Chains A and B, each alone.
Chain A
Amino acid sequence: MKLDLYKEHAAEYKAVKKPIFVNAAPAQYLAVDGQGEPGGECFEQCVGALYAMAFTIKMTLKAKGQDYAVSKLEALWYPPDGGADFETAPKSEWRWKLMIRTPDFVGKQDLREAVKALQRRGKNANAGQVTLEKLHEGECVQMLHVGPYEQLCETITAMLAFAEANQRRQHGLHHEVYLSDPRRVPPERLKTLLRQPVRKA
């Protein structure tokens, strides 16, 4: 049976349409940082580089007998500079970290070999920007958003209200898990899991 990290850590990926508390244990990700509009040129290049690395590493390890499922795309969103919020900051200034959760047995050496293999073929200029990062979010408010990405703020508002009512404040970056493929799921049915790390106020 091949490893599926989302099933292995099912409690961390509980997806319901009301705010709940979850505890996110330390996790390892392939990650790449960037800035710009989602769907824009830089964003798409980073998505491409991240998937190229994720599949190159996965298939190389699978051939060596360590099989696992490549997880979904996730992203951390940095608050815009100067205290502006996502509503008012121009999309070109949005900063994000795209991530794919990866088993702990993937190491820096696997990463180096994948970059080398991809760059030998050319056309994979961004592969070298992908890094291996650990993230420990701990206590989080989590909620499933169903609908277009443009309406995420309504769900976020509900999550923050829930945190406040439970004497919690934000502690860490807003985190999104893209459960649906926007290329084939209509906007009104897109599923996105939203996670906000919190601590006691």
Chain B
Amino acid sequence: MRDRTRHSYEQRILRVLTHIQQHLDGPLELDALAGLACFSPYHFHRVFTGMIGEGLMEHVRRLRLERAAQRLKQSRRAIADIALEAGYGSHEAFTRAFRERFGAAPSAFRRRHAPLPVPDGRAVHYTPDQVIRFSPKRSSRSMSVAIRTIRPQRVAFVRHVGPYDAVGEAWERLMARAAPMGLLGESCQFIGVCYDDPEITPPERIRYDACIAVSGPIRPRRDLGVQVIAGGDYAVTTHFGPYQRLGRTYARLCGPWAARSGRELRAAPSFEVYLNSPEGTEPGDLLTDIYLPLMPAPGTE
């Protein structure tokens, strides 16, 4: 079973990689690519990052640059046209990105008699013949993941719309409302629900809910809402350290771990449970449980 899921995750990602190569000039939208791979858009970007080692858009940008390098060497097309095909509106932006990747400006690169740089073995590279070599990233360290079945959890929450590194403002609003309501009681749980991929959604439109688990009845008021986090099976792992590095743990969980797990991801957002407070805790000592929703195990439905 496990081998079969891993195989299936790899096949699905390969389908996406092939589609990307064939449609480098297209819009390549997240939802469409996720659909192609039969992954929920909530998790697809993380599965992709986990298995390929770079974000989806980063991957597309890199492939477009590699194709541009090939066209510079193998055609006589104007650099401005090649820049446009690579998705760059201005010559300057293209030159900057190109130099960063290949160490030379496009014109110098074209004149130089050096061959195209040899791609390293692991990453997926642009190939004009559409034969894609793909070896999914393996996790070097083992990852401790538990599968937990949780009941639906009612939460009081405040919605943050904006960059992830500014979610603190939502927590301030939530705390200011929750404290006089007596919600900061014993063993209260602080939960963050993330809906968007920061690589794809513009920072000012990223949605995040700062939540406190509640038990008794509670009425929504002003910016304080009430919602239910779905029950069911979740893969749970603990992230150790600063919140800025949560993405890496998500990538390992959604990529290498999920592919080996024998389980399918469920179309619901992941959430985070904060085990200690960023106030008065060194960033390196922060503990966060990540909950990744799973479909019921085969044969249990």
Contact = CB atoms under 8 A, between A and B. Distances in A.
A117 B215 contact: no
Contacts of A113: 180
B285 A55 contact: no
Contacts of B179: 55-60, 62-63, 114, 117
Contacts of A121: 181-183, 185, 214-216
A69 interface: yes
B57 to A, nearest CB: 35
Contact of B181 (A62, A69, A117, A119): A117
Nearest to B173: A63
A55 B184 contact: yes
18 contacts: A48-B186, A56-B182, A56-B185, A59-B175, A60-B180, A62-B175, A62-B176, A63-B180, A69-B280, A117-B180, A117-B181, A119-B182, A121-B185, A123-B185, A124-B182, A183-B275, A184-B285, A184-B287
A123 B215 contact: yes
A82 interface: no
Contacts of A57: 179
User: B interface, how many residues as a size bin?
Assistant: 20 to 34
A102 to B, nearest CB: 14
Interface of A: 45, 48-49, 51-52, 55-60, 62-63, 69-70, 72, 113-114, 116-124, 126-127, 181, 183-185
B279 interface: yes
Contacts of A56: 179, 182, 184-185
B187 interface: yes
A26 B231 CA distance: 50
A57 B185 CA distance: 11
Nearest to A116: B182
**CB-based closest 9 A-B pairs:** A59-B179, A117-B182, A63-B176, A48-B186, A121-B182, A59-B175, A60-B179, A118-B182, A124-B185
Interface string B198-240: 0000000000000000111000000000000000000000000
Nearest to A54: B184
A113 B215 CA distance: 20
B22 interface: no
Which residue of B182, B187, B216 has the most chain A CB atoms within 10 A of its CB atom?
B182
B268 interface: no
Interface string B153-183: 0000000000000000000100111111111
A94 B275 CA distance: 29
B285 to A, nearest CB: 6
Contacts of B176: 59, 62-63
Given A123-B215, A181-B276, A59 B178 contact: yes
A51 B285 CA distance: 19
Given A59-B179, A60-B180, A118 B285 contact: no
Contacts of B180: 60, 63, 113, 117
A56 B181 CA distance: 9
Most buried by B among A56, A72, A119, A122: A56
Interface in B261-293: 275-276, 279-281, 285, 287
Contacts of B215: 121-123
A49 B185 CA distance: 8
A62 B171 CA distance: 12
Interface string B22-66: 000000000000000000000000000000000000000000000
